Amino acid sequence: GENVEQHPSTLSVQEGDSAVIKCTYSDSASNYFPWYKQELGKRPQLIIDIRSNVGEKKDQRIAVTLNKTAKHFSLHITETQPEDSAVYFCAASKGSGGYQKVTFGTGTKLQVIP
């Protein structure tokens, strides 16, 4: 089955600096790569996603890059703010009969220091 590895497990940055979280996946059939943000005690919520036919996607201060050849993808957060502090999960997904099987990474706890 699919295996998703995520690094680092914890990340501390100064407010205003950039943060980068990296993930690798094993199944070349995976075609959808979402990133979820989970604040303490809350549910995971999608912040950005990318499909396998796209190399990069940006939404304001966050961006995701995908390298299909190397099977890795990354989340980039620029100009970090204290409200960016949360746990971030990457995931790799592939479709099967109208169902997307999703495998999550183990999460990165991001702390933005004011």
Partner 1 sequence: NAGVTQTPKFQVLKTGQSMTLQCAQDMNHNSMYWYRQDPGMGLRLIYYSASEGTTDKGEVPNGYNVSRLNKREFSLRLESAAPSQTSVYFCASSDPGQGSYEQYFGPGTRLTVT
Residue ranges binding partner 1 (CB under 8 A):
1, 6, 9, 32, 34, 42-46, 49, 89, 93, 95, 97-107
CB contact at 8 A, 107 and 21: no
The least distance separating partner 1 from the CB of residue 43, rounded to whole angstroms, comes to 4
Closest CA to 21 of 70, 60, 78, 69: 78
**Min dist. Cβ of residue 99 to partner 1 (A):** 4
Residue number with CB closer to partner 1 (82 or 95): 95
CA distance 68 to 73: 8
Cβ distance to partner 1 smaller for residue 74 or 103: 103
